[in-house]
């Protein structure tokens, strides 16, 4: 029998994170959002709760959980705010996970404890001003200097999350390190510690949404790092990252599901309070049907990421199902944000309202960690088309 019920431990964690989001994040996030400031106090509390260490073993200070538990937490955080959820998702799946999956023992000893505890953050530099979904278009180069046993990096990265906070400790950079026998670019990933000479972090972007998360453009001008800062095997950078990205799509699907469910939460509450023509608007069938459709989208998005996570943890192929989950949940988030704004009327158009923030946050979920078009391409190819 298929059983999607959570264990007592999972339910307890979900409840504690839900309370944390409502009591600690909700009262302060609007100000951070308006001022485009990073919520250091919230991140510090999340670290003390062990959220950054959820899928990592106790050896590194983690909670010895799994990726599904992380997804449950992301959903609950995003029901209140996506900036905080995105910070956690990127810190774990893009920051710490590559080191955990592919790092040498020395690299793991040096970097993982602080990342797993939430005391430090890391970014992953894949996207460039001229290369996003087409990773083969990467132009950042890393040349190995044999005489000094160093990598010399030149290039630029764009839209890199968690790359410029006061607690950012490193960025892992995807770079061209040579040319293969078939003439294709050899892509590798290299660890660049924050503060390395020649490594410049541009001012934060002015974004439509996720305004309390940290996102920057990065520049590398003859940046030199030790040869043993190569992460994983040389020439395997893209293959390694694609695996990380498949996992990350499940996490983004969970985040999107949380936003979709948050739209339901806010709309149900508002419909019971707002009166029009002598009745609460929740008594009108048009509003009832609109909210019922919102709940349908959130529910099916949840089932999709539950299924993808289960396949991943079983060790079976989950690439298509991760793409399906991310595609559907991203659409659900965007559709629910639009509907919630409609339910709230003029109030939903105000930036200080939760659904106003949800509306602004939703669009990136159809773009980040693989656009909706890329997800459709993955599914079509996996079907043999």
Give yes or no: residues 42 and 135 share one domain.
no
At a CB cut-off of 8 Å and minimum separation 6, what does 81 contact? 21, 25, 26, 29, 33, 212, 357
- By C-alpha distance, which of 11, 37, 39 is closest to 25? 39
Same domain, 117 and 154: no
Asked, for residue 311, whether it belongs to a domain, the answer is: yes
Q: Are residues 294 and 370 in the same domain?
A: yes
CATH at 25: 1.10.540.10
Question: Considering the domain boundaries, does residue 3 fall inside one?
Answer: no
In a domain, 2, yes or no: no
Same-domain pairing of 21 and 87: yes
Residue 1 lies in a domain: no
Within-domain flag for 329:
yes
Torsion of CA 318, 323, 324, 329, to 10 degrees: 120
Full domain range(s) for residue 195: 122-236
Angle between helices 82-89 and 26-35 (to 10 degrees): 80
**What is the number of domains present in the chain?**
3
Same domain, 52 and 164: no
Residues 273 and 371 placed together within one structural domain of the fold: yes
Which pLDDT belongs to residue 155?
Answer: 97
Output the DSSP codes for 224-275. Answer: EEEGGGEESSTT-HHHHHHHHHHHHHHHHHHHHHHHHHHHHHHHHHHHHH-E
pLDDT value, residue 317: 93
Same domain for 269 and 164 = no
Q: Considering 109, 186, 369, 373, which one is annotated as catalytic?
A: 369
Domain final position from 94, 121, 148: 121
- Same-domain check for residues 347 and 285: yes
> How far is residue 214's CA from residue 221's CA, in Å, rounded to a whole number?
22
The continuous run of DSSP H or E covering 221 comes out as strand 215-226
Give domain status of residue 337, yes or no. yes
Which of 236, 253, 279 is the endpoint of a domain? 236
Asked if 319 contacts 378 with a C-beta cutoff of 8 angstroms, the reply is yes
**369 tagged catalytic:** yes
CATH of residue 287's domain is 1.20.140.10
Which pLDDT value is given to residue 2? 60
Q: pLDDT by residue for the chain (385 residues), tens digit each?
A: 467 889 999 999 999 999 999 999 999 999 999 999 999 999 999 999 999 999 999 999 999 999 999 999 999 999 999 999 999 999 999 999 999 999 999 999 999 999 999 999 999 999 999 877 777 789 999 999 999 999 999 999 999 999 999 999 999 999 999 988 887 899 999 999 999 999 999 999 999 999 999 999 999 999 999 999 999 999 999 889 888 888 999 999 999 999 999 999 999 999 999 988 989 999 999 999 999 999 999 999 999 999 999 999 999 999 999 999 999 999 999 999 999 999 999 999 998 899 999 999 999 999 988 899 999 999 999 999 9
pLDDT of residue 243: 87
- If asked whether residues 128 and 106 sit together in one domain, one would say no
Residues 230, 329 within the same domain: no
CATH of the domain at 176: 2.40.110.10
Task: For residues 148 and 252, state if they share a domain.
Answer: no
Name the residue among 144, 135, 120 with its Cα closest to residue 228.
144
* Pair type for strands 141-145 and 150-161: antiparallel
With b meaning 16 or more CB within 10 Å and e meaning fewer, what string describes 311-336? bbeeeeebbbbbbbbbbbbbbbbbbb
336 lies in a domain? yes
The last residue of one of the domains, among 200, 217, 236, is: 236
Coil, helix or strand for 4? coil
Residue 172: its H or E element? strand 168-179
Calpha distance 88→185 (Å, rounded): 32
User: Do 269 and 365 fall within a single domain?
Assistant: yes
Is position 356 within any domain? Answer: yes
């Amino acid at each position: 029998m298929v059983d999607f019920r959570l264990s007592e431990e999972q339910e307890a964690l979900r409840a504690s994170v839900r309370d944390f989001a409502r009591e600690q994040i909700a009262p302060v996030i609007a100000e951070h959002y308006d001022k485009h400031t990073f919520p250091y106090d919230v991140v510090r509390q999340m670290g003390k709760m062990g959220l950054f260490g959820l899928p990592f073993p106790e050896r590194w200070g983690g909670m010895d959980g799994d990726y599904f538990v992380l997804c449950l937490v992301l959903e609950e955080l995003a029901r209140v705010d996506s900036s905080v959820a995105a910070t956690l998702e990127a810190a774990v799946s893009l920051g710490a996970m590559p080191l955990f999956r592919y790092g040498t023992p020395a690299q793991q000893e040096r970097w993982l404890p602080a990342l797993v505890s939430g005391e430090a953050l890391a970014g992953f530099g894949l996207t460039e001003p001229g290369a996003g979904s087409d990773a083969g278009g990467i132009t950042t180069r890393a040349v190995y200097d044999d005489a000094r046993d160093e990598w010399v990096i030149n290039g630029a990265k764009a839209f890199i999350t968690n790359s410029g906070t006061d607690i950012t400790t490193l960025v892992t950079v995807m770079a061209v390190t040579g040319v293969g026998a078939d003439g294709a670019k050899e892509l590798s990933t290299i660890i660049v510690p924050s503060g390395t000479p020649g490594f410049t972090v541009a001012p934060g972007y002015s974004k439509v949404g996720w305004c309390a998360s940290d996102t920057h453009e990065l520049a590398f001008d003859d940046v030199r790092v030790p040869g043993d800062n190569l992460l994983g095997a040389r020439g395997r950078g893209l293959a390694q990252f694609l695996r990380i990205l498949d996992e990350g799509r499940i996490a983004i699907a969970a985040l999107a599901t949380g936003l979709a469910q948050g739209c339901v939460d806010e709309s149900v509450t508002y419909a019971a309070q707002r009166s029009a023509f002598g009745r609460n608007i929740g008594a009108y069938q048009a509003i009832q049907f609109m909210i019922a459709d919102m709940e349908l989208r959130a529910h099916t998005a949840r089932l999709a990421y539950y299924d993808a996570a289960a396949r991943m943890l079983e060790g079976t192929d989950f690439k298509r199902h991760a793409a399906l989950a991310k595609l559907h949940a991203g659409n659900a988030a965007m559709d629910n944000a639009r509907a919630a704004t409609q339910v709230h009327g003029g109030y939903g158009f105000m930036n200080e309202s939760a659904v106003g923030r949800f509306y602004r946050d939703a669009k990136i979920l159809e773009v980040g960690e693989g656009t909706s078009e890329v997800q459709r391409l993955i599914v079509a190819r996996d079907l043999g088309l």
